Chain A
Amino acid sequence: MTTNGYDKDAAGNIIDEFGARPEMLVQILQAFVQRFTWIPEDAVRHLAEKLNLSRADVHGVVSYYHDFRTEPPGKHVVRICQAEACQSMGSRKLTEHASDSLGVGMHGTKNDVTLEPVYCLGNCACSPAIMIDNKTYGRVSPERFDQLVGAMRQSD
Chain B
Amino acid sequence: MAAIRIFVPRETASVSVGADEVAVEIARVAKAQGASIELIRNGSWGATWLEPLVEVVVDGNRIAYGNVAAADVADLFSAGFLEGGKHERRIGPITEIPYLINQDRWTFFRCGLIDPLSIDSFREHKGFDALEKAFEMGAEAVVEAVTESGLRGRGGAGFPTGIKWRTVAGASADQKYIACNADEGDSGTFSDRLLMEGDPCCLIEGMLIAGFAVAASKGYIYLRSEYPLTRSILLRALDNARESGWLGENIQGSGFDFDIELHIGAGSYVCGEETAMLESLEGKAGIVRYKPPLPALEGLFGKPTVVNNVVSLASVPNIVDLGAGRYASLGVNRSKGTLAFQLAGNIKRGGLVEKAFGITLRELIDDWGGGTASGRPVKAVQVGGPLGAYLPAEQLDTPLDYEAFADIGAMIGHGGIVVFDDSANMAQLARFAMEFCAIESCGKCTPCRIGSVRGVEVIDRIIEGVDRDGNYDLLVELCDTMEDASLCAMGGLTPFPVRSALKYFAEDFAPSQGAAT
Contact = CB atoms under 8 A, between A and B. Distances in A.
B269 A119 contact: yes
A138 B267 CA distance: 20
Nearest to B349: A125
B63 to A, nearest CB: 23
Nearest to A27: B263
Interface residues of B, number: 63
Nearest to B185: A120
A123 B187 contact: no
Contacts of B15: 136
B424 interface: yes
Contacts of A24: 283
B280 interface: yes
A125 B263 contact: no
Contacts of B178: none
Interface stretch (B100-108, B144-152, B340-348, B508-516): B340-348
Contacts of A121: 12, 226
Contact of A26 (B48, B266, B429, B432): B266
B259 to A, nearest CB: 15
B472 to A, nearest CB: 23
Interface string B334-369: 000000001111110011100000000000000000
Contacts of B184: 122
B286 interface: yes
B198 interface: no
A85 B418 contact: yes
Contact of A67 (B267, B419, B436): B267
Interface stretch (A8-16, A70-78, A87-95, A97-105): A87-95
B16 interface: yes
A41 interface: no
A88 B419 contact: yes
Contacts of B346: 88-89, 127
Contacts of B285: 60-61, 64-65
Contact of A120 (B13, B17, B186, B382): B186
A65 B225 CA distance: 11
Given A65-B285, A125-B342, A126-B16, 9 more contacts: A26-B284, A66-B266, A88-B424, A119-B436, A120-B186, A124-B350, A126-B13, A136-B12, A136-B228
In the A-B complex, the 7 residue pairs with the smallest Cβ-Cβ separation, listed nearest first, are A125-B350, A83-B187, A124-B344, A66-B267, A65-B266, A25-B283, A64-B285
Interface of A: 21-27, 29-30, 60-61, 64-68, 83-89, 92, 118-127, 129, 131, 134-139
15 contacts: A23-B301, A30-B266, A64-B285, A64-B442, A84-B386, A88-B424, A119-B187, A119-B269, A120-B226, A125-B48, A125-B342, A127-B344, A127-B345, A136-B16, A137-B16
